[in-house]
Amino acid sequence: MKKVALAFSGGLDTTVCVSLLQEEYGYDEIVGVTVDVGQPDSEFVEAEETAAAHDLDLHVVDARSEFAALCFDSVCANATYQGYPLGTALARPIIASSIVDVAQAEGCDALAHGCTGKGNDQLRFEAVWRNTNMEVIAPVRELELTREWEQEYAAEQNLPVQAGNDGVWSIDTNLWSRSIEGGKLENPEHVPNENIYEWTAGPTDRPSTEQITIGFEDGIPVSLNGQHHEPVELITQLNKQAGTHGVGRTDMMEDRMLGLKVRENYEHPGATTLLTAHEALEQLVLTKDERDFKRHVDAEWAQKAYEGLINHPLLTALEGFIQETQSRVTGNVTIKFEGGRARPVSRESPYAAYSADAASFNTSSVGSITQQDATGIAKYHGFQGRLATTIESDTE
Ligand code: ARG
């Protein structure tokens, strides 16, 4: 008896994989695994229905808390990749390792996914899976399937595939972001219709403005308007609230790992709000030197997270630096939702590296330091530049 665990969503790719794993790969038993990282309920209904029609043994694993915790690590790293807050990328290692757990408990010999050979997800899944002794199978990539072929095959085999949005776009939704790609959107010139968006309101459907306050402890968002919220709850609530204000839309050309560019559309109202608030608090509490250096650390963190390598030693090392800085990122930030944006309008922290007295126009000295103490520094400032330009004009 050969047994395989399949990453199963109930969508076209994974549904076709169920038949192919039996017919082309000779597996007798297939365990479908759907991992909950905050997809809408309809996706679970679709997965359950498709699994039932297939007689597929389906396991649903709730990984929302674990995923939300990783999203909050990404907030501490101010993490975006080319402007996108990494929802799909962060979810993949969590999904992949949840599937390994089920596969091990079920005594599977192999792990399978329905990713194509063009995208990032195959790499993210396999980075986790190839760390096990199980065989890795990627039917769509190995058999070089196209979406059209899959559609015909599904019809021929009478596979229960729901067309969703008429199969027009490929959508990936979780707690942190909603991604829309494919179809007409593949043409970078095409201006998307408002109807591709589900989480964010268009300009004519938004309430005027609203202010909210987010509380942070050690860099982690913990409260909304003074009320404590668990991570999953907080993200869900902010997706709704910031979404009604149209916050967090990205329309971009994204450089995938393989080098291909892809046109992506994303919605991420909660992520944008939390990332914006977190950065506003860091501005208040971190020194300029820390901020300058952290920008590089953050960018490297985001790069590794985009690659799905959340256990990479580099990421762990970067994490050490980030954690060290976050011990002062405690306080509150008020955000104003306005014109489709989340704008920080107030921040406060017991760790503010800021002295109103020192910066004020109304006081003349800072402790024992007087304004006149700056005179010497002002004389030296720009010294090298002056020398260099004088030499230049002398030798002309
Ligand atoms: N390009 C993005 C990433 O690699 C998201 C892809 C989402 N997939 C989808 N079917 N819409 O992180």
Is 179 close to ligand 1, i.e. is its CB under 6 Å away?
Answer: yes
User: Is the CB of 264 within 6 Å of ligand 1?
Assistant: yes
- Cβ–ligand 1 distance for 88 under 6 Å, the answer yes
CB 178 within 8 A of CB 172: yes
- Whether the CB of 170 sits within 6 Å of ligand 1: yes
Q: Is the pLDDT of residue 165 over 60?
A: no
Which residue among 121, 165, 178, 267 has the greatest number of ligand 1 atoms within 8 angstroms of its CB, and so is best to mutate? Answer: 121
What does the pLDDT look like over 70-86, one tens digit per residue? 999 999 999 999 999 99
CA 341/CA 242 separation, integer angstroms: 9
Query: Confidence band (pLDDT; 50, 70, 90) for 168?
Result: confident
What pLDDT shows up at residue 270?
98
Mean pLDDT to the nearest integer, 10-27: 92
Which of 12, 13, 88 is the best mutation target for the ligand 1 pocket, counting ligand atoms within 8 Å of the beta carbon and taking the most? 88
User: pLDDT tens across 122-150, in order?
Assistant: 999 999 999 999 999 999 999 999 988 99
Cα of 393 from ligand 1 centre, angstroms: 56
Q: How confident is the model at residue 332 (pLDDT cuts 50, 70, 90)?
A: very high
How many A from CA of 86 to the centre of ligand 1? 9
Q: What is the pLDDT of residues 30-40, one digit of tens each?
A: 999 999 999 99
- Does ligand 1 have an atom closer than 6 angstroms to the CB of 177? no
Integer Cα distance of 174 and 89 in angstroms: 11
pLDDT confidence tier of residue 163, bands split at 50, 70 and 90: low
Q: What is the pLDDT of residue 169?
A: 86
The closest-lying atom of ligand 1 relative to the alpha carbon of residue 181 is 11
pLDDT of residue 166: 53
Ligand 1 site, residue 302, Cβ cutoff 6 A? no
Give the burial class of 210: count Cβ atoms within 10 A of its Cβ; 0-12 exposed, 13-18 middle, 19 or more buried: middle
> Going by C-beta distance under 8 Å and a sequence separation of 6 or more, which residues neighbour residue 152?
none
Model confidence over 213-258: pLDDT tens digits? 999 999 999 999 999 999 999 999 999 999 999 999 999 999 999 9
Going from the Cα of 88 to the center of ligand 1, the distance in angstroms, rounded, reads 6
Specify the ligand 1 atom closest to the Cα of 81.
Answer: 12
Residue closest to 286 by CA, chosen among 344, 353, 216, 215: 353
Report whether pLDDT(167) > 90.
no
Q: What is the pLDDT of residue 315?
A: 98
pTM recorded for the entire structure = 0.95
Q: What was the pLDDT predicted at 11?
A: 86
Instruction: Place 284 in a pLDDT band, splitting at 50, 70 and 90.
Output: very high
Ligand 1 mean position to 379 CA, how many Å?
A: 54
- Compute the mean pLDDT over every residue in the chain, rounded to the nearest whole number: 94
Residues annotated as part of the active site: 13, 92, 121, 170
The pLDDT of residue 12 = 87
Residue 158 scores a pLDDT above 90: no
Which ligand 1 atom lies nearest to the CA of residue 119? 4
What sign does the CA torsion over 73, 44, 262, 251 have?
Answer: negative
Nearest atom in ligand 1 to 86's CA: 12
